[in-house]
Structure 1
Amino acid sequence: MLFRSPTVAQMKQWKEKLQFSGAQMAQILGLKTARRWRDYADENKPQGIPPANLFMGAALVTLSQDEIDRVLDTMREVGATIDLAADGETHS
């Protein structure tokens, strides 16, 4: 797989296009806090968003709710616990 992360400027443009707050960007990208989004949006220390996080965000703003629910159901079938509306993140 070849993946090059969008630039900080491109991520900021996407945020503006979506008209999302930092907290909303963090939520769709699966980040723990809005502060984490600000880290990715910091031009002084560009680090690039991981492909899985970008995929999640793109899916959440592109797919229908039924399609998202199907993906989440598959994740649960595999054994994951997931609640997109919950605060915090657990990796166990």
Structure 2
Amino acid sequence: MNYTPPTPEELLKLKSELGKSSTEMAELFGVSTGRQWRKYTSSTEQRDMGMHMLFFAVAQLELDPEAMERVFARMRAIGATVEIDKP
């Protein structure tokens, strides 16, 4: 598999399209805070977005709740504790 991460500009475009705050984007991508999220969109403190983080975010955007729950159930069956906060 070959992976090239999105650029900071592309991530900012996604944030704008989704109409989310940095804190909400951090939650979507599984990073701790909005400040951490901004490191992926910064021109000075830039970090590359890992494929696993991008996959997690896109899965939440594209999969229906039943499919996501099947994934989480499988994670639990393997031994993980997964608790999802629902609005």
Q: Partner residue of 1:79?
A: 79
Letter of the 2:58 counterpart = A
Runs of 5+ unmatched residues, structure 1: 86-92
Q: Partner residue of 2:14?
A: 14
> Aligned to 1:40, what secondary structure does the other structure show?
coil
Distance 1:69 1:2, change over 3 A: same
C-alpha deviation, 1:29, in angstroms: 0.6
- Report the count of equivalent residues: 86
Which of the pair has the greater relative contact order for Cα pairs under 8 Å at 6+ separation? 1
C-alpha deviation, 1:19, in angstroms: 0.8
Q: What RMSD over aligned residues (CA atoms) do the two structures have, in Å?
A: 1.4
Moved more, 73-82 or 49-58: 73-82
What is the TM-score normalised by the length of structure 2? 0.91
Q: Partner residue of 1:46?
A: 46
Runs of 5+ unmatched residues, structure 2: none
C-alpha deviation, 1:84, in angstroms: 3.4
Return structure 1 stretches of 4+ with deviation > 4 angstroms. Answer: none
